[in-house]
Amino acid sequence: MALKTLSAKAAAALDKELMSTGAFSIDQLMELAGLSVSQVIYRVHPLDKGSRVLVACGPGNNGGDGLVAARHLRHYGYQPTIYYPKRSKNELYQRLAKQLEDLEVPFVEDFSSAVKSTDHIVDAIFGFSFSGEVREPFPAVIKALEETNIPVTSVDAPSSWNIEDGPPKSGLGSSFMPDFLVSLTAPKPLVKHFKGRHFVGGRFVSPSIAKKYDFEVPKYEGLDQIVEISPNGQKL
């Protein structure tokens, strides 16, 4: 059975629908998405593996999910560090950053140094709306993610990958393979190229919305906001 995935275009339409007829605010959706990401980190990298988590945040919604995840991780007892070089002027992201500052979570400027003193990396740089070129200052970050031996969890998409086609054929990002991936609401077509452990998060989609967008709400257990599925989609 082929995995049902959500194209970049469908994912954008779903987001728009959740926030219009679905009546969710972006604050709510981002809180729940970031909570899912934090639960994946807790699952794949429990505190006894080392509490230092470097969260690389891009300028858009993917970065916002990373900021929320970092806050929850801080409350779980982790020591997150944030790399957030292109801060959005959007009020929501400014508030999410302030919430981290109030928890004394450090923001760092130099990603390649930060990579050397962390136990886990969260790639919250680009999400399903990424296409085209990796802009400055992110090429060096993607390169560091390709080269590091530290485990990496990507949020929604391995950054630099094309949402439909997966990793670039050559050059920057072509050898980037994160260890873990959290697909938010539903996997994107790129997952057919993904080889690590794969989770779905975002336990807020109604069955009727899922049906309309032709994907399945995965079977979450208990209170979990995440569920592990096979790298390419089936439930484990």
- Detail the residues annotated as belonging to a binding site for K(+): 62, 123, 159
Asked if 99 interacts with a second copy (CB under 8 A), we say: yes
How near is the Cβ of 83 to a second copy at its closest, in Å?
Answer: 20
Asked if 140 interacts with a second copy (CB under 8 A), we say: no
| Lookup result for tokens 């794969």 | 198
Helices 61-76 and 26-44 cross at an angle (nearest 10°) of 50
User: Which of 16, 98, 116, 212 is the binder for a second copy (CB under 8 A)?
Assistant: 98
User: Which of 1, 48, 170, 223 is the binder for a second copy (CB under 8 A)?
Assistant: 223
How near is the Cβ of 198 to a second copy at its closest, in Å?
Answer: 20
CA dist., res. 218 & res. 91, Å (int): 33
Annotate 98-162 with DSSP letters as a single string: HHHHHTT--EES-HHHHHTT-SEEEEES--TT--SPPPTTHHHHHHHHHH--S-EEEESS-TTSB
User: Which of 7, 13, 24, 172 is the binder for a second copy (CB under 8 A)?
Assistant: 24
The bridge status of strand 197-201 relative to strand 226-229 is antiparallel
Site for a second copy in 104-123 (CB under 8 A): none
How many other C-beta atoms lie within 10 A of the C-beta of residue 79?
A: 17
How near is the Cβ of 223 to a second copy at its closest, in Å?
Answer: 6
Rounded to the nearest angstrom, the gap between the alpha carbon of residue 202 and the centroid of all alpha carbons in its chain is: 11
User: Which of 12, 25, 136, 171 is the binder for a second copy (CB under 8 A)?
Assistant: 25
Q: By the 8 A CB rule, do 22 and 209 touch? A: yes
Q: By the 8 A CB rule, do 71 and 124 touch? A: no
Asked if 39 interacts with a second copy (CB under 8 A), we say: yes
Residues annotated in a binding site? 61-65, 123, 127-133, 156, 159
Site for a second copy in 72-91 (CB under 8 A): 72, 75-76
User: Which of 42, 86, 108, 129 is the binder for a second copy (CB under 8 A)?
Assistant: 42
User: Which of 12, 49, 87, 94 is the binder for a second copy (CB under 8 A)?
Assistant: 94
CA dist., res. 236 & res. 226, Å (int): 13
Binding mask 187-216 for a second copy (x = CB under 8 A): ----------------xx-xxxx-------
Q: 84 Cβ partners below 8 Å, 6+ apart?
A: 57, 63, 67, 97, 107
Binding site for a second copy (CB under 8 A): 22-25, 27-28, 31-32, 35, 38-39, 42, 71-72, 75-76, 92, 94-96, 98-99, 102-103, 203-204, 206-209, 220, 222-223
